[in-house]
Structure 1
Amino acid sequence: MNWITFFIDKAVPVVMAVLTLIIGSSLIKVFNRLLTRQVKKSKMDESLKPFLLSVFSVVMKILLIIVVIGILGIPTASFVAVLGAGSLAIGLAFQGALSNLAGGVLLLTMRPFKVGDYIEGSGYSGTVKAIQILYTELITPDNKMIYIPNGTLSNAGIVNYSVHDTRRVDFTFGVGYETDTQHVLNVLEGILNNHELVMSDPEPFIRLSAHGDSAVEYVARVWVKSEDYWTVHFDVLQEVKKSFDQEGISIPYPQMDIHMTN
């Protein structure tokens, strides 16, 4: 009878543990399918969806294992302690990777930028090609690929030049003191108003801004569509030099007079 009692005492927890494992695994699969459907319908970033599904699956399986161990009569407190110690050791070993992982989740959730945006961050600038879990890929204007760790990027200031449809182009021109101020303003106004990509609303802003050491400085500000920023920038610089030469408007540069005595 003692052997039978011993067998029953040991067999029942094992059977219960096996049944719990089978039923729990089935439920986890069902929950995974339901969660997958909901995640696919959401507007969440595509790079983040598989990561969240994997995290949910791993967490549920760990909880199931802890429950099964408890049914078998094994103290779960020591198991959880060992699991915690192991997690701490892994966390310390992969501290940088985990920081990048957390940064990737933050970037994909908060979405300060998206693929195709031109951004500046962590000392780099370029067009976003991809936002991965650990790294963000940028393509520079000269076609270089830059991989920025998400941990670094998420903790730094990010400038997104593609958020708004319009941008302001700022210019500063130095003109000789002998040139008539109204003449300069008229020439600049004509250049800016005649450029087809410069917006009329808000209208261009042109003013004398400073009396420099060797030149009078004029500031000009115009609004353009974001994609036309550099076209307008280079066109206006070229047209100003051409018009100033035609109108006899001097563009001074720093000079030094040296007097020699014998």
Structure 2
Amino acid sequence: MEWLDVALPIIKSIVLAIVVLLVGLFVVKLITNVVRNRIEKSKLDSTLKPFLVSVTSAILKILLILSVIKILGVDITSFVAIIAAAGFAIGLAFQGSLANFAGGILLLTLRPFRVDDYIEGAGYSGTVGAIHILYSELITPDNKVIYIPNGQLSNAGIVNYSVKDTRRLDMNFGTKYEADTDKVLNTLHDIVEKHSLTLQDPEPFVRITDHGESAVVYTIRVWVNAEDYWTVNFDILEEVKKRFAEEEISFPYPQMDVQVNQ
């Protein structure tokens, strides 16, 4: 039958294309896993590793799609020509993805942060888990994963808390006006100097910084190793409460908010 003679090659091509697609996806996954394992064991920068894996996976999938198209009898040259002719429209449709890809290249080239750095950017904060082709992963302190488009992240101001080895801890405390100024200053100095994790160079700063409506404001500025920042922060908060009670130094009521730089 004539229609069968015409349909049979088409059916064979479709079936072969489906088989190649399914097998190809399995092979792509297998190769990607092998590449990932090799890259993980290599001495490459940890920031580059997830990006290279993503690029490898994307390239293999593109090659697979082109192979399936060829099996279906579509002239790849014509297909590429059609894509080129529609390039402007495709560019408009995927301008966000292209911007994210370009942003990923910028992040990997300029290196404002690396994997495992703690950063703030694009309105979010967390530890950098990975930088992929189109997005980056931030892991929050409570173990949530935030996926931020690279274009958005590369165009926003980024605060990197992990670049420097030391950080300055700023804390404000308020007391009633009746409190003895020298006693308060000496108590705060003693708390700071006796803490084993505070650095003495630069020298700790403890002074009155404001006369508020209902309180005198004392400010502590002390340098610590970056990894000790939050430990020292909570230790000083607890110790100030204990020592003020022992020295009978009164907090204003209601207690003013303690301001801490993140």
Change (3 A) 1:214 1:141: same
Change (3 A) 1:140 1:247: same
Instruction: Provide the residue aligned with 1:214 in structure 2.
Output: 214
- Please, which runs of 5 or more residues in structure 2 have no aligned partner? 1-41, 63-78, 256-262
Q: Determine helix, strand or coil for the equivalent of 2:221.
A: strand
Q: Number of matched residues? A: 196
Deviation of 1:82 (Å): 6.0
Instruction: Provide the residue aligned with 1:236 in structure 2.
Output: 236
AA at the equivalent of 1:46: K
Q: Distance in 2 between matches of 1:81 and 1:157?
A: 40
Change (3 A) 1:41 1:254: closer
TM-score (norm 1): 0.68
AA at the equivalent of 2:104: G
Q: Distance in 1 between matches of 2:83 and 2:133?
A: 25
Q: Determine helix, strand or coil for the equivalent of 1:46.
A: helix
Alignment of 1:45 with 2:54, yes or no, is: no
AA at the equivalent of 1:239: E
Deviation of 1:179 (Å): 1.1
Structure 1 runs of 4+ with >3 Å offset: 40-44, 46-52, 79-85
Q: Distance in 2 between matches of 1:46 and 1:228?
A: 29
AA at the equivalent of 1:186: N
AA at the equivalent of 2:124: Y
**C-alpha contact 2:100 2:149 (8 A) present in aligned 1:** yes
Identity of aligned residues (%): 63
Q: Distance in 2 between matches of 1:215 and 1:233?
A: 22
RMSD: 2.8
- Please, which runs of 5 or more residues in structure 1 have no aligned partner? 1-39, 59-78, 256-262
**C-alpha contact 1:45 1:109 (8 A) present in aligned 2:** no
Q: How does 1:43-192 map to 2 (within 5 A)?
A: 45-49=48-52, 51=55, 84-192=84-192
Q: Distance in 1 between matches of 2:127 and 2:43?
A: 28
